[in-house]
Structure 1
Amino acid sequence: MTDTRAPLISARDLRVTFPGRRGGASARAVDGVNLDVAEGEIVALVGESGCGKTTLARTLLGLQRPTGGTVSYRGQPLGYGSKALKAYRREAQLILQDPSGSLNPRHTVYDAVAEGLRIHGEVADERDRVADALSRAGMRPPERFFLRYPHELSGGQRQRVVIAGALVLDPTLIVADEPVASLDASVRGEILALMLRLREELGLAALVVTHDLGLAWNIADRVAVMYLGRIIETGPVEKILTAPEHPYTQALLSVLPEGGQPVVLSGEPPDPSRVPGGCRFHVRCQSLASGVAEAAGVADLCRTKDLPVLDGRGTQAACHLAQARQLATSGEGGHVQHQG
């Protein structure tokens, strides 16, 4: 089912390349991405380390300028002048993986949360807003934490302070990069529950960057699976995590406790400066290696024919085998849109 809400933030044919080392080929960190996040929606961006997730997130926030394509916020292309970016960063806030690295050890909790207000010159009711943000983030009573320093807090409390620092500016979008990866299991659930509650109370939209499909299952409305600079499968979380069609998504899911027989992918993710021809996953694809793609008559396509960029809407898989299976079962393409 396609989400009919207007996107709050939208990427179209987004590309980010970095110069190669010693004059070598450029690294295609983001290599053609279409992605929407609607108001009040939580989208999980999942994939292995090095697939381009963090670069995509930074580009959506305006922290990295794209090499090509556009980022739009509320239908308007993102401007990269200092005034435009300052206004945008009031609306879109980043929560990083390591709260210890996000907090200045010499700043009190109060100063850490008030920093955004001071940057934007909004200090008239600073104390009340800091207290409100800390309270929303679950630090109650907030005044008890004002004069504490990061080293006096637990890991979960530090992450709550980071979240309060993002909330104090009343943003509409949160980009959370591995927001619970450094936390104990007992605290992870608390922080995820907090993010869901903030969505309900404030209407916040969120892009949650993670390698953990279990986290995506617990928090997301939609999932976008990224591999080697591109989104290769996307759709509602229930569909993608219970009936994935791309072999890469199937492999990621297989390592979960109830994921069945683990799929061991051969080799490491390819170098983004040497993207393979054909399907970019084919050199590690278990369906190609096992002969399943050959039996379906798509093995040559897998090795030689690139797949177009997914349009970012509905349920899609950038996979020749998935397309062949869909055509075989429906004859009409069905309700699932495949590109390839």
Structure 2
Amino acid sequence: MTTTAPPPPLLSAQGLHVTFPGRHGAPAARAVDGVELDIRAGEIVALVGESGCGKTTLARSLLGLVTPAAGRITFAGKPLEYSSRALKAYRRRVQLVLQDPTGSLNPRHTVYDAVAEGLRIHGRTGNERAAVAEALAHAGLRPPERFFLRYPHELSGGQRQRVVIAGALVLEPELIVADEPVASLDASVRGEILALLLRLRTELGLSALVVTHDLGLAWNIADRVAVMYLGRIVETGEVEQVLTAPRHPYTQALLSVLPEAQGDPVVLTGEPPDPSRIPTGCRFHARCQVLASGEAERAGVADRCRTEDLEVLDGGGGDQVACHWARAPGRPGD
């Protein structure tokens, strides 16, 4: 019997490291510290974690906005090049959607000009009016002509976010990177924007990387989830598997504070460590509730948690976890 190999990834990060110089002779901050991540055509991947874990820096590096210190990014099988011409061509195919539509839109520009801006920057010829109208319609602003001459202050927050999305769609990208796409919106319109992103995947075949701190959002929109902590992905897999049976204590803690969670919330002690001083052993061990409770000791892995680093997880999409305790003999999923 023959098996069908999975399709190659559309976007792939391989051994990615991004560092920022320290101040006054301090060690460099390892914002992204060895990441493997694949996104396939038509797939939505959620990248989740606390503020400061490195997820936005990773997203910016995938967009070519930050040059990695090591590793490489490939798109459609070809390595990303960092010349101005190559990056301009790349950004026609990979577009960014930011979390703050008010800050993303020039208050002096009409909706039409805001959406047409990408076409003009990239010198796209053809019927500009038709392209703008089509993008607005895909973003759910219908009839589009009714919005052409409006200004951002005349729109609701949800409408402004749809204009930002239309500005990305007008270049007909293959992938969008959405950084906290509903964080600044009222709860009443968040569901509408998430439904829009899912519809765009169905209608246009778009892939998406959705960067968020909200695991509930990941559950509603993603095919796969990658949980990031201190510059590295610590758990990844199909969204149902990771969010219904999380194996990493950090993922368990993030899930425990959702309104629908069963049991008491896990309160993590302290703040995430400084990325210029990543601890030895598991990078989560200083805040780990499993180590603090003695469960890791009973499983015989406490010393390894404190002293033995874990390998970088493969980006290919299988269910994986970087945790000595989760992998201890006899534990589910071992």
TM-score range, shorter chain: over 0.9
Aligned to 1:173: 175
2:269 counterpart of 1:283:
no
Alignment of 1:82-231 (within 5 A): 82-231=84-233
SS of match in other structure, 1:293? helix
For 1:207, the aligned partner's letter is L
Aligned residue runs from structure 1 range 49-88, under 5 A: 49-88=51-90
Aligned twin of 2:247? 245
Paired residue for 2:326? 322
Amino acid of the structure 1 residue aligned with 2:289: Q
Report how far residue 23 of structure 1 moved.
1.5
Whether 1:293 aligns to 2:296 is yes
SS of 2:18's equivalent? strand
Paired residue type of 2:252:
Q
Distance 1:163 1:64 in 2: 22
CA distance in 1, matches of 2:281, 2:175: 35
CA distance in 1, matches of 2:203, 2:174: 12
- Unpaired segments ≥5 residues, structure 2: none
SS in 1 for 2:327: helix
Q: Distance in 1 between matches of 2:327 and 2:69?
A: 30
Separation in 2 of the partners of 1:165 and 1:80? 23
Where 2:81 maps in the other structure, the secondary structure is coil
1:312 aligns with 2:315: yes
Amino acid at match of 2:269: S
Amino acid at match of 1:20: G
Give the superposition deviation at 1:222. 0.2
- Cα distance in 2 between the residues matched to 1:32 and 1:65: 14
Which consecutive aligned stretches of 4+ in structure 1 deviate over 4 angstroms post-superposition? none
Please report the TM-score for the alignment, with normalisation by the length of structure 2: 0.97
Q: Show the 5 A alignment for 1:248-259.
A: 248-259=250-261
1:219-245 alpha-carbon deviations (Å, 9 max, x no partner): 000000000000000000000000000
Question: Offset of 1:5 from its aligned partner?
Answer: 2.3
Shift of 1:3: 8.6
Q: Offset of 1:257 from its aligned partner?
A: 1.4
Select 1:18's aligned residue among 17, 20, 29: 20
The match for 1:32 is: 34
SS in 2 for 1:191: helix
One-letter code of the match for 1:306? D
Shift of the 187–329 alpha-carbon distance from structure 1 to 2, 3 Å rule, reads: closer
Q: Which residue of 2 aligns with 1:264?
A: 267
Aligned to 1:333: none
RMSD of aligned residue pairs (Cα, Å): 1.2
| SS of structure 2 residue aligned to 1:34 | strand
Q: Distance in 2 between matches of 1:283 and 1:174?
A: 35
Cα drift, residue 329 of structure 1: 5.2
2:172 counterpart SS class: coil
Once the two structures are overlaid, the 10-residue window that deviates more, 276-285 or 121-130, is: 121-130
Q: CA offset at residue 6 of structure 1?
A: 1.2
Cα-to-partner distance string for 1:171-206 (whole Å, 9 max, x where unaligned)? 000000000000000100000000000000000000
State the secondary structure of the residue aligned to 1:110.
Answer: helix
State how far apart, in whole Å, the 2-side matches of 1:158 and 1:178 are: 15
Offset at residue 263 of structure 1 (A):
0.2
Structure 1: distance between partners of 2:47 and 2:79 = 22
Paired residue secondary structure (2:283): coil
Change (3 A) 1:24 1:329: closer
Amino acid at match of 1:221: D
d(CA) in 1 for partners of 2:144, 2:39: 31
Aligned residues: 329
Q: CA deviation at 1:250?
A: 0.1
Alpha-carbon distance in structure 1 between the residues aligned to 2:310 and 2:326: 12
1:311 is aligned with what amino acid? D
**What percentage of residue pairs aligned between the two structures are identical?**
76
Q: Distance in 1 between matches of 2:315 and 2:82?
A: 24
Deviations 1:77-129 (A, max 9, x none): 10000111010000000000100111011110000000010011114210000
Alpha carbons of 1:258 and 1:3: their partners in 2 closer, same or farther (altered >3 Å)? Answer: farther
